[in-house]
Chain A
Amino acid sequence: MVNKQTSLGDRYAEITVVLLTLIALAVGWAYKSGIENASVPFSAEGISVEAPKGWLQAEPAGTELLHTVDINSNGFGATYVIRKVAVTEGATTSEVASLMTLNYAQDLLAFRMLDQREVTVYGRDAYEINYVFVESNPDLTHAQIPSVVRGTDYVFLNGDHAIVVSFQADEKTYDLDLGRFHLFLESLTF
């Protein structure tokens, strides 16, 4: 028995190991996406949406129709909120967004507006605001310093109401969570 040289068979075996690992990871990614993108139907007051499965649906407060939180998130849990806000006749999305911003500035710690613009979201006119704040709610379940939270709201007008869809997530995971939020947003009907 000798220390044999690398043969063609060895090379094929080596390539097969790499391919097998890539296939396993690709299947793993598909499986992960299936789990993360799984949804449950939600419907209230003429608004329907596919809410993430396995998230905690908190008791809606005030104008909120849906308030769902990813309890498996690190730091500040990714949160989707749908609000239905009564508006006066002739109100524009930017005016509703300004009102939202004022409320945030009063309620949220270290609130800062990053940018705002008119956009089209899956065929609907909307107004987008991007903002940031520091988590300030007391939370006995998190033994960590408060997180910096990034948020994005989309304001849609629907007759005498505005529908405000909010996405808030820890700034460290915001970009990674954004894809899932777009699926949520795409499923929104009213």
Chain B
Amino acid sequence: MSEVKALHERKHVWRDEVLLIISLCVFVGIVYFLDGAFKPVFNPSTLTLTGVVLALVPAAIWLTFFYLQDRAEPEPKGFVLGVFALGAILASAIGIPVVDNLFRVSHWLRSDTLTTILGGILVVGFTQEFLKYAAVRYSIYNSDEFDEPTDGVIYATAAGLGFATVLNIQFVVSNGGVDLGVGIIRIAVVALAQAAFSGITGYFLGRAKFESEPVWWMPLGITLAAIFNGLFNWLLGILNRPTITLNGATSNTWMGLVLAAVVALVTTGVILALVRGSIKSLQAGK
């Protein structure tokens, strides 16, 4: 039974990832349009509440697609939600305190380009990617339900979206709410990026469990995810850099969304190809 299940490619997983990217971009467009068209007026409480609800949307979209399509070999819904919650808890309990309070990255990370890249990889990247890895490795990984390589991507994505949800809620709450148009773009960017980097860790986790990989395999996965994380945030900082004119300061946050969508699509494509290759080699050797 285990042998048959482990050779499934589970195409819907990739469909879910692509649908998440497309749906989020469409959702951002709708919110941005509605915000511009109706210019809703909020008081501080409803502004914060609206921001928190919007922060939950990316995870809700992914989980909805996942549950609708995961029928052939369904993952236990409680497990996926549990890993999502674990990612969120680790972000809240360790990730944000370590990065914001212990390392106080806002004080020094943007000092210069080298610092932004190095600090982004060594501190932000490694902290976030290790915690998302831990959310999977020390929970579902040893369970019988983690029974095929693609499960690494599924559970790591769930952990990543949990992590992203808390990052977004923290951003909304610490700013006392956000402008809907700009806020929803930021929320989508964080969710897409965190899901994409988690996918990398998930691929390495899946292979580590089902193939005899060398000791450096999993450290390589975390390092790659951390490097992509750091480079992404550096690029995002460049794209979101405000332009100052006589009319005031403007920032093109849409470019950040384009970058996040492209990174997520490319990452999904690469991981899909790698997982397919892995499954083919397993089929050939079984």
Render B211-229 as a binary contact track against A, CB cut-off 8 A, 1 for contact: 0111111110011001000
Q: Quick one: which of B3, B118, B127 contacts A1, CB cutoff 8 A?
A: B3
Contact B122 A31 (CB under 8 A): yes
Q: For the complex, is A2 an interface residue (Cβ under 8 Å from B)?
A: yes
Q: For the complex, is B282 an interface residue (Cβ under 8 Å from A)?
A: yes
Q: For the complex, is B123 an interface residue (Cβ under 8 Å from A)?
A: yes
Q: For the complex, is A56 an interface residue (Cβ under 8 Å from B)?
A: no
Q: For the complex, is A146 an interface residue (Cβ under 8 Å from B)?
A: no
- Tell me, in angstroms, the Cα distance from A127 to B106 when the chains sit together: 34
Contact B219 A20 (CB under 8 A): yes
> From residue B275, how far is it (CB to closest CB) to chain A in Å?
14
- Tell me, in angstroms, the Cα distance from A18 to B129 when the chains sit together: 11
Q: Quick one: which of B119, B121, B133, B215 contacts A16, CB cutoff 8 A?
A: B215
Q: Quick one: which of A28, A72, A73 contacts B119, CB cutoff 8 A?
A: A28
Given contacts A32-B119, A35-B111, A72-B107, contact A9 B3 (CB under 8 A): no
Q: For the complex, is B115 an interface residue (Cβ under 8 Å from A)?
A: yes
Residues of B within 8 A of A7 (CB): 212
Residues of B within 8 A of A18 (CB): 130
Query: Majority SS of interface residues in chain A?
Result: helix
Given contacts A1-B210, A17-B133, contact A32 B108 (CB under 8 A): yes
Residues of B within 8 A of A32 (CB): 103-105, 108, 119, 123
Residues of B within 8 A of A73 (CB): 107
Contact A24 B209 (CB under 8 A): no
Residues of B within 8 A of A16 (CB): 215-216, 218-219
Closest to B6 in A: A1
Q: Quick one: which of A20, A25, A27 contacts B222, CB cutoff 8 A?
A: A20
Residues of A within 8 A of B108 (CB): 32, 35-36, 72
- Tell me, in angstroms, the Cα distance from A1 to B222 when the chains sit together: 25
- Tell me, in angstroms, the Cα distance from A35 to B3 when the chains sit together: 53
Q: For the complex, is B19 an interface residue (Cβ under 8 Å from A)?
A: no
Q: Quick one: which of A2, A20, A54, A173 contacts B223, CB cutoff 8 A?
A: A20
Contact B7 A1 (CB under 8 A): yes
Residues of B within 8 A of A74 (CB): 106
> From residue B135, how far is it (CB to closest CB) to chain A in Å?
13
Contact A13 B215 (CB under 8 A): yes
Contact B126 A28 (CB under 8 A): yes
Given contacts A14-B218, A31-B119, A70-B107, contact A25 B126 (CB under 8 A): yes
Q: For the complex, is B276 an interface residue (Cβ under 8 Å from A)?
A: no
Q: For the complex, is B43 an interface residue (Cβ under 8 Å from A)?
A: no
Instruction: List A40-95 residues whose CB lies under 8 Å from chain B.
Output: 54, 70, 72-74
Q: For the complex, is B2 an interface residue (Cβ under 8 Å from A)?
A: yes
> From residue A68, how far is it (CB to closest CB) to chain B in Å?
15
Q: For the complex, is A122 an interface residue (Cβ under 8 Å from B)?
A: no
18 extra interchain contacts, Cβ-Cβ under 8 A, other than A13-B217, A24-B123, A28-B118?
Answer: A1-B286, A3-B6, A3-B144, A13-B215, A16-B216, A16-B218, A17-B130, A18-B130, A29-B103, A29-B123, A31-B118, A31-B119, A32-B103, A32-B108, A32-B119, A35-B108, A36-B107, A173-B104
Pairs across A and B, CB under 8 Å, 7 listed: A3-B146, A9-B215, A17-B130, A20-B222, A25-B122, A31-B122, A73-B107
Residues on B close to A: CB < 8 A? 2-3, 6-7, 98, 103-108, 110-111, 115, 118-119, 121-123, 126-127, 130, 133, 137, 142, 144, 146-147, 208-210, 212-219, 222-223, 226, 282, 286
